[in-house]
Amino acid sequence: MTARGKLTLGPLLFHWTAQKRRDFYFHIADEADLDCVYLGEVVCSKRDPFFEPHIEAVVERLTAAGKQVVRSTLAMMTLDREVAAARALAQTGVLVEANDVACLSEVAGRPHVVGPYINVFNEGACDVLIDGGAVRIVLPVEMTKSAVRVLAGRAGETEMLVFGRQPLAVAMRCYHARSHGLTKDGCQFVCGLDPDGLPADTIDGQALLTVNGTQTLSNGYLVLLDELGELRAMGVTHFRLSPQDMDMVAVARIHRAVLDGQRGTAEAMTQLRQLTGSIPWQNGFLHGREGLAWIERADAHA
């Protein structure tokens, strides 16, 4: 394995203010040791206009800092204007991460990234997408190690989410609005009140899910620090950090050091724990278990 593992920052899933979002990306551009940054609204097109005026400056700053920029699309499109926006983006010729099959027709025959919201669970799907011009496939979050072993490096680049809340479902309906007694059309952008998502617990008090507009995420953070080396050996080329409302530059630094073999995972995990506080860690999907589970190294190797 000669080339070093690439570290990427996935699209920001939460509805931060335009100011906070812009400052976050400027800080990432200047300070974070990342190879690639995904930019774009994945969850709700109603949020789009807020950040639109800043996109160009952010792309410029990231590019100038030597980071590859990929433009992510919505995970689910139903409105004409959403489809039109994706089409227009694809036609500019920038590298696009397609998160809805809708985009695949638009980018067919040109290099593009297939995002984690498009189901690629097997070689058959993988081959069709690569044949259509996909140069990188981001595997879905519900991916077991044995499947990664088959799919990674089949052709082109393979990316996996390794840090952050796990995206579990997308919908047309806005649960954030619903939790406030509102509907999607009259949502008042209440999702902006929760920059790291809204906790949704069970009725007997177990933390379980996080609501982010129309998206449902895990309550815990996916943490695969201990599995990075193994995934790299299987052929995973890109490792994705999903932005949470915390010091993502430090999160990137820890992952970079482990990927480069400059820091042991035990030490790295201690450092990461200081950053994530009381939020539980999860890694069950990769180990073929329930996604909310945390499998310790000793168990994982048992």
Kindly identify the residues of this chain, within the stretch 15-34, that bind another protein according to CB under 8 A.
none
Among residues 69 and 295, whose Cβ is nearest to another protein?
Answer: 295
Beta carbon of residue 272, minimum distance to another protein (angstroms, whole number): 22
Paired tokens of 57: 């400056």
Kindly identify the residues of this chain, within the stretch 59-118, that bind another protein according to CB under 8 A.
75-80, 82-83, 86-87, 100-106, 117
Phi first, then psi: what are they for 88, rounded to 5°? -65, -40
Overall size of the chain counted in residues = 302
Q: Under the criterion CB under 8 A, does residue 137 sit at the interface with another protein?
A: no
- # of chain residues touching another protein (CB under 8 A): 76
Long-range pairs of 115-124 with CB within 8 A, sequence gap ≥ 24: 115/42, 115/72, 115/73, 115/75, 116/140, 116/141, 116/161, 116/167, 117/42, 117/75, 117/76, 117/167, 117/170, 120/151, 121/147, 122/147, 122/150, 122/151, 123/150, 123/151, 123/154
Residue 282 bridge partners (DSSP):
222
Parallel, antiparallel, or unpaired for β 134-138 and 112-114?
parallel
Q: Which stretch binds another protein (CB under 8 A): 20-28, 41-49, 149-157, 222-230?
A: 149-157
Among residues 33 and 230, whose Cβ is nearest to another protein?
Answer: 230
Q: Under the criterion CB under 8 A, does residue 42 sit at the interface with another protein?
A: no
Among residues 33 and 142, whose Cβ is nearest to another protein?
Answer: 142
Beta carbon of residue 165, minimum distance to another protein (angstroms, whole number): 11
Kindly identify the residues of this chain, within the stretch 170-229, that bind another protein according to CB under 8 A.
170-175, 178-180, 183-185, 198-206, 208-209, 211, 216, 218
Beta carbon of residue 271, minimum distance to another protein (angstroms, whole number): 27
Beta carbon of residue 127, minimum distance to another protein (angstroms, whole number): 7
Paired tokens of 66: 């030597």
Q: Under the criterion CB under 8 A, does residue 58 sit at the interface with another protein?
A: no
Q: Which letter does DSSP use for residue 78 in this model?
A: -
Beta carbon of residue 18, minimum distance to another protein (angstroms, whole number): 25
Residue 301 bridge partners (DSSP):
none
Q: The tokens 């919201």 sit on which residue?
A: 117
